[in-house]
Amino acid sequence: MRRLRLGQDALEMRALAGPWVYPIALAIASAAVALAEALAPARPQQRQWRRHLASDFVYLVFNGHLLGLLLYALAMRWVLPPIDDALARHGVIDVVYRNVAAEWPLWVQIGVALVLLDFAQWLIHNLLHRVPWLWELHKTHHTVADGEMDWIVSFRFHWLELVVYRIGLYLPLAFFGFAPAAVLVHAVVGTVVGHLNHSNLALGRGAWRYIFNSPRMHIWHHDAAANGRTTVNFGIIFSTWDWLFGTALLPDHPPVRLGFSDDAAMPGDFFGQQAWPLSRLVAPHAWLGSALGAGLIVGAWLFGHHGSAPARTPMFGETAAQSQPAEDHYRYARTPDAATIALAHFGDDARAAGFAHPDELVSVRELAAALGSPSLCIIDVRANRGFDTGHIPSAQRMERDGYSVSSPIAGLSRRADELEAALRRRGVGSSSVLVLYGDGGPEPYRLFWTLRVVGGYHARVLDGGLDAWKRAGHGLAAGPPRAVAFGDVTLTPTGTPALLWAQIAPTARTGAVLLDARSDREFSGSVQHPEAARAGHIPGARNLEWLALLRGADDSRLKPVAELRVALAGAGVDGSAPVITYCQTGTRSSLAWFAMRQAGMPDDQVINYNGSWSEYSRLDQP
Ligand SMILES: [Zn+2]
């Protein structure tokens, strides 16, 4: 199974196939078949420079390239995203696609796509003849008259007919998850065989005629005496379907006349036919066809070449947030498997930057590539309740009371079993990779530290948080967190004492550096935190506000290692003595603890005082 992302899939399919591969293949196939016709025509009396040739050339360029661009742009902007969102609102997220084909080797996918799509086309072609309003569209193709049957008419199709075809073919492709290469091979083979079917070449004898369609066979599809809706030989690539279902006919001679019974009433060229059958209802003015035809060509050119939609962040069934940042072209994983592979690159950026524990960090780039992996769990720990208006897609929410208690001392860590239950409720499993993020504040570091020190659990922090995610142009999801199944993660209580002053004091008395991560006004006592019992700081402490460890007000990533060391040395932290860091409730100091370890201080030399000023200010201490 894979997640529902019709629009995203269409985008990636196009990006992988390359927009110019098909037009180049079309040009080569056209030149080759035209040359064969010139050298060995089946009907030597038929002229190559004939009536409606210019019109058919416009068809070739328009239907072979421009219309595809137009339909693609329309689908990406106005059709597929609303379908994705509507299905997601009804909870249809993971069950729509059976991604069976994606697991087969490419050559198997190509073979199955050829047969499956050709059968779908055979069915659609039958409908085009048997459903009255579809026949009105398909008539355009059957305007091919005597003396006009050559390779280039294989692209004489009404634009609305192509809409019907594309929808009929795209849905099975999306459903079964075929690789873009398999789709491309089907398109190219279909084009070559389509050219040959209409060509002025003497093909279609021998046993092959029961497998492949041929000009000898297809010309009977255009028999005027069959009168359109009762005709035969609906095959595109394979003739087998017609032989199997009794719609095949292959006499030795060609039909007497090509066309259909009332073909004289049809407009004769590209521009007139674009307006058909609308032109039958409105006055049959020539300008209507010209205007519509010219409008389609110009629209396709403008839309297709200048208006292709950028990549949308996958939303996983959640609603996109109202205020989407402008997105650039990002590579999101195409399948959950690809996303899971991207998990292996978590920490690469931190490793390259020289951080001592790259396995505790993840960059925005790395996280985006892994979005959609079933193994990825993201928890939003922002304190400011902004979750519903915009969060990283698929994230769960945990506020401070999820991992801290409010009494007897506000802010103390919860027990391991409580933390385990909180993670399980948010879908964290035993093999999950857990990423924590905030809005640039210290909350994710507090939860990281809590999980590690209390439960021996290894999470990761998104460097720079949600601000960095948005600044990089990634989308946000809106609304409450999506429902997830319970996870089965297990925490291992470490038995670490509560880290109250009673446990901290002995270390503090043996020459450890006391590092206060609060603001200088809280440190000096000119401001008293509302949750503190008194103002001031622990005697002997040094002040290094947590913000000094981040890059700046608009970039809350950790400072580079060298700059961290300079900032820390300025506060007397140079690695020669253990450090005890604290703040009001151990949150801002968690960031300091994290930064000191990332700058290279050994784990056993850095202690975060859990009770912090919240406890200390209530003690009978100097
Ligand atoms: Zn037909």
C-alpha 341 to ligand 1 mean position (Å): 46
Residue 362: CB atoms within 10 Å: 28
Whole-number average pLDDT of the chain:
83
Q: Considering the chain, tell me which residue range(s) the CATH 3.40.250.10 domain(s) occupy.
A: 333-478, 501-616
Q: By the 8 A CB rule, do 355 and 361 touch?
A: yes
C-alpha 241 to ligand 1 mean position (Å): 15
Q: In the predicted model, is pLDDT for residue 213 greater than 70?
A: yes
C-alpha 142 to ligand 1 mean position (Å): 6
Q: In the predicted model, is pLDDT for residue 311 greater than 50?
A: yes
pLDDT tens profile 607-621: 889 888 888 877 777
Q: By the 8 A CB rule, do 409 and 392 touch?
A: no
The phi, psi pair for 439, rounded to 5°, reads -105, 25
Burial per residue of 205-217, b for 16 or more beta-carbon CB atoms within 10 angstroms, e otherwise: eeeebeebbbbbb
C-alpha 244 to ligand 1 mean position (Å): 18
Q: In the predicted model, is pLDDT for residue 422 greater than 60?
A: yes
The residue type at 569: A
Provide the percentage of residues in the chain whose pLDDT is more than 90: 31
The phi, psi pair for 514, rounded to 5°, reads -95, 115
Kindly state the average pLDDT of the residues 496-508. 78
Give the whole-angstrom CA distance, residue 566 versus residue 572: 10
Largest CA distance in the chain: 112
Q: By the 8 A CB rule, do 88 and 315 touch?
A: yes
pLDDT band at 215 (very low <50, low <70, confident <90, very high): very high
Give the whole-angstrom CA distance, residue 438 versus residue 436: 7
- In the structure encoding, which two tokens stand for residue 513, read together? 């550096």
Kindly state the average pLDDT of the residues 282-306. 69
C-alpha 204 to ligand 1 mean position (Å): 19
pLDDT tens profile 240-255: 999 999 999 888 888 8
pLDDT at 179: 72
Q: Which of 66-70, 306-310, 313-317, 395-399 has the lowest mean pLDDT?
A: 306-310
619 burial class (0-12, 13-18, 19+ CB within 10 angstroms)?
A: middle
Helices (H) and strands (E) in the chain, counts: 25, 13
Q: Is the peptide bond before 408 cis (omega within 30 degrees of 0)?
A: yes
pLDDT band at 385 (very low <50, low <70, confident <90, very high): confident
Radius of gyration of the chain (CA): 34
Q: In the predicted model, is pLDDT for residue 32 greater than 90?
A: yes
pLDDT band at 173 (very low <50, low <70, confident <90, very high): confident
609 vs 317 pLDDT, higher one? 609
Kindly state the average pLDDT of the residues 168-176. 72
pLDDT band at 308 (very low <50, low <70, confident <90, very high): very low
125 vs 586 pLDDT, higher one? 125
The residues that bridge with 321 in the sheet, in sequence order, are none
C-alpha 141 to ligand 1 mean position (Å): 7
C-alpha 186 to ligand 1 mean position (Å): 20
pLDDT tens profile 516-572: 888 888 888 888 888 777 888 888 889 889 898 999 888 999 999 999 999 999 888
C-alpha 58 to ligand 1 mean position (Å): 20
Kindly state the average pLDDT of the residues 502-517. 82
C-alpha 30 to ligand 1 mean position (Å): 21
Q: By the 8 A CB rule, do 409 and 614 touch?
A: yes
The CATH number of the domain covering residues in 333-478: 3.40.250.10
C-alpha 138 to ligand 1 mean position (Å): 7
Q: In the predicted model, is pLDDT for residue 423 greater than 90?
A: yes
pLDDT at 159: 86
Q: In the predicted model, is pLDDT for residue 256 greater than 70?
A: yes
Q: In the predicted model, is pLDDT for residue 296 greater than 80?
A: no
Give the whole-angstrom CA distance, residue 462 versus residue 347: 10
C-alpha 221 to ligand 1 mean position (Å): 6
Residue recorded with tokens 């960095």:
468
Strand order in the sheet with 460-462: 361-362, 460-462, 433-437, 376-380, 396-397
Q: In the predicted model, is pLDDT for residue 285 greater than 70?
A: no
pTM, full prediction: 0.55
Q: By the 8 A CB rule, do 194 and 156 touch?
A: no
Give the whole-angstrom CA distance, residue 247 versus residue 455: 71
Residue recorded with tokens 């109202």:
322
Q: Does domain 501-616 have CATH number 3.60.21.10?
A: no
C-alpha 233 to ligand 1 mean position (Å): 8
